[in-house]
Each structure stands twice: as structure tokens, then as C-alpha cells.
């Protein structure tokens, strides 16, 4: 019997995989026995090749990769099922779970940015029960995520505590002081998914403005899509996704910019937290303010990015103070050494619930969203790949 077992589609390569890997390191650092079960879902396309993040994590011999094909129940104190879309779309092989607690870690919000439903937490719960034999508790990764999931209560069970992303602050110390050189370095990184960028070519260009004495660096960019859209990238220094270690890339930025598509919803925003830990000043989509706090970043539309950065440049002390404040906030709230205590709180928690935030939408509205999803043909599990 393990202390902790995590279940994930090993093809995840972005924030979900990075969050899992950091959790695993934290569990191991606390002296816990840790296992990993790999499942494959129609949510992700391609073969069965592990992402680099998962492959690198499994170099650690203390992590046991568990084969569940024989039908032996998975026994652990806690089982974490990572990313609800994996299980909403259906996953194989079947995993029978015999655990004190089973959790589904909600790295993804139920609602898209336009308000439409992208997965149904109630149906996901039932599909997990059929697949595993266990009734899961839902673990939101942020307050925004909890508010949305509350719209489906009491038909799903929300865990008493959230499960936010964690980081080892010692890996993210910047060696330079932002806004201290004549040339300003502006950049961003992330999976090369067009949804991680603004809607139009004009907005994309505005989000990374060409200013005097500036350099624009991008790691992870959907170049072909942008060429088709007519985005001018001639002033950008572009690297492939994860071409360099992320801490090294971020440590060279003065400003980290992140605006994303109107239909995308961000449950947490791991890349933003990483940039804050690395000491960059963050200029962000306003939808991220509830997660990171109004005083720890500049929030604006893509078209306002140029003036926001010029204002920061005109007051470098204010910019540096904001960067220090944001870095300290992430280090305090999201350090890896908080994981073991959070796990024990989850295992000890009973049915009693503390005060919950308001629902994002009423249960009646949530039900109408489910009907809309059924009409669009997006509701039932699929047998083939659906996306990259």
C-alpha cells in the first residue's frame, strides 16, 4: 500500500504535468511512498509517448510506475486523479481504486471564457465511479475554480481545502534586478497553443509591443497559425517550447506578459506564478486578478500593454517593489513544504464544510449549460483523439 498514488495521462506537457511533478517531489521529500498510474484519454491526441516533464520526473527511482492491467485494486491512503477532462472524455486502462480518499484535481475550469460548458463535473464524477469504483472528492486548484465547481453542488463533493500548485522557491531565484538596464526584456512562455494567446493578430502584436530599447523573447509559439493570421514576429526572438530551462528563461525577463483568448479559461496560471517567483513584473489578463491579487501585477487589455510597460519603466522602483511583493506572495502560499501538511488535512477532513464562496452560476443555469453541451455533441465520451 502506498501513501500516495497519482493517476495521469502521461502525454500532458504543460502546467498540469509540471504541477504533478512538483507534487510528487514534495511527497517524496516528506518521506512518503509514491506511485504513478498512466492512463490514456481521448482528450489528448497522439500515441503513447510520455511528455518530457513526465519522463524527467520518472528518472527518480523512488517513484513506482504501477501496472493495473491485471485488475488488482490500487491501494493507497490517497489517490489523486489529475485533470478532469481526462476522465470526462474517458480513460483506459480501467483502474480499480481502494483508498482512504480519492480526489480529482481540477486543473481545468468547467466553463470556458465565453460561458459555455467544457466538461460536466457531475458526469465526470459518475464516469470516474464506473472506471474506478470510487466516489471522488473534487480538489479545486484556485478560488476561481472552487466557485465554478460550487455551481454543481450538492451533486459533486468538494474537498474542504483547495489544492493549489506548488513550487520550490529555491529554483526560481533571479540573479538580476528588473528595470536596472537600459534595454528592457519583455517575454512570455507556454505551450504553443493559439488559445494561450489573444484572439486577433492586432491583439497579439499589441500584447508584445515593440518599444524603444526593448527585446521581445517568446518560448513556445504557434508560428504557423500566427503566419496565417498575419502576425508580425520579425522583432521576436522565438524559442521552441521548453527549449531552455524555464527558470533560466524567466530570470532574464524584466516583464512577463500573459493575455489569452476570450474563449479560454485559466484555472490557475502556473506560468504566471513561475514568472513571479523568478522576479519578473507581470502584465496580465484581468481575468487572472482573483488568483494573483490586484497589487501583485498590472492587469490590462492587450491594447493597453504598451502604456502599462512605459508607466513601469517611468517608475522602476515601483516596478521592483511589485516584483518583490509578488515573488514573496507565491513563495509563502505555494511552497513545496506545505504539501505534506495539506495532505494530512485532506485525509483528516470529514463531512463538515466551512463557508463556501458564491456559485459562479446557479444550479439551474449549470443544468442549461449541460443541455447546451449535449446539443453541441460534446457531452459523451469519445473513442478517438480530440486535441493536441
In this predicted structure, the answer to whether residue 355 has a pLDDT above a threshold of 70 is: no
Average pLDDT score over residue span 241-267: 94
Confidence of residue 384 (pLDDT cuts 50, 70, 90): very low
- Taken in order of first residue, the domains within the chain and their CATH numbers are 2-166+337-375 (3.40.50), 169-333 (3.40.50.2000)
Tell me the pLDDT tens digit for each residue of 283-318. 999 999 999 999 999 999 999 999 999 999 999 999
Average pLDDT score over residue span 194-198: 96
Predicted pLDDT of residue 336: 93
Pairing of strands 40-41, 91-92: antiparallel
Query: For residue 271, what are the contacts with CB-CB under 8 A and spacing of at least 6?
Result: 15, 188, 189, 190, 256, 258
Q: Could you tell me the three cell numbers for 180?
A: 536596472
Q: Could you tell me the three cell numbers for 18?
A: 509540471
Predicted pLDDT of residue 366: 81
Q: To the nearest 10°, the Cα dihedral for 110, 15, 188, 265?
A: 0
28, exposed or middle or buried, with CB in 10 Å at 0-12, 13-18, 19+? Answer: middle
Beta bridge pairs of residue 106: 140
Tell me the pLDDT tens digit for each residue of 78-134. 999 999 999 999 999 989 999 999 999 999 999 998 899 999 999 999 999 999 999
Predicted pLDDT of residue 158: 95
Tell me the C-alpha to C-alpha distance, in Å, between residue 197 and each of 165, 201, 252, 258: 22, 10, 21, 8
Predicted pLDDT of residue 100: 94
Q: Give the rounded percent of residues in the chain with a pLDDT score beyond 90.
A: 81
pTM, rounded to two decimals: 0.84
Element (H, E) at 186: strand 184-189
In this predicted structure, the answer to whether residue 353 has a pLDDT above a threshold of 70 is: no
In this predicted structure, the answer to whether residue 140 has a pLDDT above a threshold of 60 is: yes
Predicted pLDDT of residue 352: 45
CA distance linking residue 267 with residue 288, whole number of Å: 9
Closest CA to 208 of 224, 55, 266, 190: 190
Predicted pLDDT of residue 150: 94
| Crossing angle of helices 270-277 and 316-333, rounded to 10° | 120
In this predicted structure, the answer to whether residue 381 has a pLDDT above a threshold of 50 is: yes
Beta strands across the sheet bearing 281-284 = 236-239, 214-219, 184-189, 255-258, 281-284, 298-299
Beta bridge pairs of residue 99: 76
Tell me the pLDDT tens digit for each residue of 20-51. 999 999 999 999 999 999 999 999 988 889 99
Lowest mean pLDDT among 28-37, 158-167, 302-311, 366-375: 366-375
Mean pLDDT taken over the chain: 91
Predicted pLDDT of residue 129: 96
Predicted pLDDT of residue 359: 76
Predicted pLDDT of residue 14: 87
Amino acid at each position: 500500500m502506498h501513501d500516495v498514488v497519482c493517476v495521469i495521462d502521461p502525454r500532458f506537457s504543460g502546467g498540469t504535468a509540471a504541477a504533478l511533478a512538483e507534487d510528487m517531489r514534495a511527497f517524496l521529500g516528506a518521506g512518503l511512498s509514491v506511485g504513478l498510474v498512466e492512463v490514456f484519454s481521448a482528450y489528448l491526441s497522439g500515441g503513447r509517448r510520455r511528455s518530457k516533464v513526465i519522463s524527467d520526473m520518472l528518472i527518480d527511482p523512488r517513484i513506482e510506475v504501477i501496472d493495473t492491467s491485471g485488475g488488482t485494486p490500487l491501494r493507497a491512503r490517497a489517490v489523486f486523479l489529475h485533470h478532469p477532462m481526462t476522465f470526462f472524455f474517458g480513460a483506459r486502462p480501467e483502474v480499480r481504486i481502494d483508498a482512504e480518499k480519492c480526489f480529482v484535481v481540477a486543473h481545468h475550469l468547467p466553463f470556458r471564457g465565453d460561458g459555455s460548458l467544457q466538461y460536466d463535473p457531475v458526469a465526470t464524477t459518475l464516469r470516474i465511479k464506473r472506471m474506478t469504483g470510487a466516489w471522488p472528492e473534487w480538489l479545486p486548484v484556485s478560488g476561481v475554480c472552487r466557485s465554478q465547481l460550487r455551481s454543481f453542488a450538492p451533486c459533486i463533493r468538494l474537498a474542504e481545502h483547495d489544492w493549489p500548485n506548488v513550487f520550490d522557491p529555491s529554483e526560481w531565484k533571479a540573479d538580476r534586478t528588473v528595470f536596472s538596464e537600459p534595454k528592457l526584456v519583455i517575454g512570455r512562455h507556454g505551450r504553443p497553443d493559439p488559445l494561450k494567446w489573444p484572439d486577433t493578430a492586432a491583439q497579439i502584436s499589441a500584447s508584445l509591443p515593440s518599444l524603444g530599447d526593448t527585446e521581445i523573447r517568446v518560448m513556445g509559439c504557434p508560428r504557423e497559425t500566427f503566419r496565417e493570421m498575419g502576425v508580425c514576429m520579425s522583432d521576436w526572438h522565438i524559442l521552441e517550447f521548453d527549449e531552455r530551462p524555464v527558470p533560466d528563461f524567466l530570470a532574464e525577463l524584466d516583464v512577463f506578459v500573459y493575455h489569452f483568448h476570450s474563449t479560454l479559461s485559466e484555472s490557475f496560471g502556473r506560468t504566471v506564478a513561475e514568472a513571479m517567483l523568478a522576479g519578473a513584473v507581470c502584465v496580465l489578463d484581468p481575468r487572472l486578478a482573483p488568483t494573483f491579487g490586484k497589487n501583485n501585477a498590472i492587469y490590462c487589455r492587450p491594447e493597453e500593454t504598451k502604456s502599462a510597460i512605459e508607466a513601469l519603466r517611468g517608475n522602476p522602483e515601483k516596478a521592483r517593489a511589485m516584483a518583490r511583493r509578488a515573488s514573496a506572495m507565491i513563495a509563502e502560499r505555494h511552497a513545496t513544504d506545505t504539501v505534506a501538511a495539506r495532505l494530512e488535512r485532506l485525509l483528516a477532513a470529514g463531512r463538515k464544510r466551512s463557508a463556501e464562496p458564491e456559485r459562479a452560476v446557479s444550479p439551474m443555469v449549470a443544468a442549461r449549460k449541460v443541455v447546451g453541451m449535449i446539443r453541441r455533441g460534446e457531452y459523451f465520451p469519445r473513442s478517438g483523439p480530440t486535441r493536441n
